[in-house]
Structure 1
Amino acid sequence: MTISVCMASYNGAPYIEDQLRSILASGQVDEVLISDDGSSDDSVDRIRAISDPRVRLVLGPGQGLVRNFEFLLSEARGDYIFLADQDDIWLRGKVSTMMAHLRYADLVVSDCAVVDERLNTITESFFALRRSRNGLMHNIMRNSYLGCCIALRRQLLDYALPFPANVPMHDWWLGLVAETFGRPQFIADRLVLYRRHGGNTSTTSESSATPMLVRLRWRIILAWALARRMILTKVC
């Protein structure tokens, strides 16, 4: 049984070292696979400065966050895969707690505390903020799946990869795949400090500024992609 952590990096120099150290401190991780997508700051130098043989740095596809995570998932070697953001902090017990639930579930998503750049608490519970829970229709309408809090069994990738074209976010797609083909589980343990600092790639914890028609289009894309994946799975 091996555990991989997949992290996409892009101009994350101010925070990435602290995050990497919090991940490695668990002692249970076999591989931290980091795909840098063309950082113009010294992110890569900071990653390399952490001389731990478990850290594997690769060059991303240069096509943005979603495709970078698709690439990471295809390259990860572990039987179990954890997703990580470059600017958060993992709390003690994250790996062991989620692994205990992965004995029975195909994908586990934990709660987290939302914090500012100095780790001051903004919101105690992301689940409460987002009304997070499982359910296919609930999550098509309002995504509860936060990537930095997700861990999954490798077998789920048989259904999730390759990502369909125009998928809005990797975590949303993975969650819906788990709802459709596997056994997802939400756990109340707060295992991550989810840092929001104004420079984040995603805006999951804030109110969406995306036009309603675009959001409607995303949901149509996801529903259609799931239907196609179901048909292909039955045919194969």
Structure 2
Amino acid sequence: MRRFPRVAVLLPTYNGSRFIGAQLDSILAQTVTDLIIVTRDDGSSDSTREVVQDYARRQPDRFHVVVADGRNLGPGGSFSLLMQYVLERRSQLGLEPLRVLLCDQDDVWDSRKVERELEALFKLESRFPGLPALVHSDLSVVAADLTPIAGSFLAYHGLDGNRNDLRNLIFSNTVTGCSALLNESLLRKALPVPEDAMMHDWWLALVAAAFGHIGFLPERLVQYRQHDHNTLGAREYQPRKLFSKTTWQRLWQKNPDPMLFAVARQAETFRARYGKELSRSDRLTLGLASRLRTDSFLLQRVLFRLLRF
């Protein structure tokens, strides 16, 4: 079997005692064994910290527990902190070159997840040396007890994992963070993740698409657990009929879509940070996307449709 270099698994935790043991077991059962789980608790009030500490005591060479400072950062802030943490301590952690897996506390990984994603990442890095690279996979959707809900997370959301170009990613994130593997070049380019980023994984995908490359594996390498306490959760995609009553009602409603406001803020922030390095076409698309911050719902939807096609 091929020998792989050490990889960091970034695992923020928060009130996850119900499921975190199963996730840790699935990480420790990977075919790639040289993994270090870098974890930080975000202020849990249950027994999550004790569960993690018990695993760390039993396998100290597989865990690096970041001492919490009492702050509750939320999922995006927690991942951002851990990414910066391992980047600054990559030598100490034996992570040169640095490659990072993002991990949610309540999922279950296929035993070959790390191996398959590393193989794909190495191919990208071989073809495009020195550039930011991100690999992600499809997932299956399961209930709290792991009963199947949907065979494909992306199809369940009405997404195409191969649509990884910047123009598409500005408006729709196809990269699910808990399935993603990142290289050091991407972290250096993307960090710090700004407050206006909708989520850390969306920001990372934008940077990878703009300055590097994204690889997609259609295999379902993660069981995405759907339960009452998911931060976002999986919702089944329901295509709207063009002339349905609800569509016409939405066209004439007074309130613009807050989701598109957030997309506009993120696009504006991305253009402000990287504009001088982007192509004229990408700057134009981002500039138009930032205009989605309009008080007219109808104008917002028209502009959105024009930009999407």
TM, length-normalised to structure 2:
0.71
- Offset of residue 207 of structure 1: 6.5
Aligned partners of 1:118 and 1:165: how far apart in 2?
34
Q: Does 1:47 align with 2:52?
A: yes
Give secondary structure in 2 for the equivalent of 1:103. Answer: helix
Q: How does 1:10-25 map to 2 (within 5 A)?
A: 10-25=14-29
Identity in percent: 35
**Shift of residue 203 of structure 1?**
2.5
Partner of 1:196: 226
Displacement after TM superposition at 1:232 (Å): 6.4
Alignment of 1:1-236 (within 5 A): 1-26=5-30, 27-50=32-55, 51-53=58-60, 54-58=62-66, 59=68, 61-76=71-86, 77=90, 78=95, 79-105=98-124, 106-130=133-157, 131-133=159-161, 134-205=164-235, 213-231=257-275
Letter of the structure 1 residue corresponding to residue 26 of structure 2: S
State the Cα deviation string for residues 1-26 of structure 1 (Å, max 9, x = none).
32000011100000001101110111
| Structure with the greater alpha carbon radius of gyration | 2
* Partner secondary structure for residue 123 of structure 2: coil
Which stretch of structure 1 is more off in the superposition, 77-86 or 7-16? 77-86
1:107 deviates by: 0.2
Shift of residue 205, structure 1, vs aligned partner: 4.0
Runs of 4+ in 1 over 6 A off after TM superposition: none
**Residue identity opposite 1:75 in structure 2:** Y
Give me the whole-angstrom Cα distance separating, in 1, the residues matched to 2:138 and 2:63: 26
Cα separation, partners in 2 of 1:206 and 1:72, compared to 1, 3 Å: farther
CA distance in 2, matches of 1:173, 1:206: 23
Q: CA–CA distance in 2 between the matches of 1:101 and 1:34?
A: 25
**Higher-strand-fraction structure:** 1
The aligned counterpart of 2:282 is none
Q: CA–CA distance in 1 between the matches of 2:123 and 2:17?
A: 37
> 1:41–1:207: structure 2 CA closer, same or farther, 3 Å change rule?
farther
Alignment check: 8 A CA contact 2:141 2:234 kept: no
Q: Given that residues 159 and 229 in structure 1 are in contact (C-alpha distance below 8 angstroms), is that contact kept between their aligned partners in structure 2?
A: no
Other-structure match for 2:243? none
Unaligned runs of 5+ in 2: 125-132, 239-254, 279-309
1:153 Cα deviation from its structure 2 partner? 0.5
Q: Comparing 198-207 with 104-113, which one deviates more in the overlay?
A: 198-207
User: Which segments of 5 or more consecutive residues in structure 1 lack a partner in the other structure?
Assistant: none
When structure 1 is superposed on structure 2, of 176-185 and 196-205 the one drifting more is 196-205
SS, match of residue 102 in structure 1: helix
Deviations along 1:123-159, whole A, 9 cap, x unmatched? 1011222322312222222211111111111110111
Name the CA shift for 1:143/1:212 in 2 (closer, same or farther; >3 Å): farther
Counterpart of 2:287 in structure 1 is none
Higher relative contact order (CA 8 A, sep 6+): 1
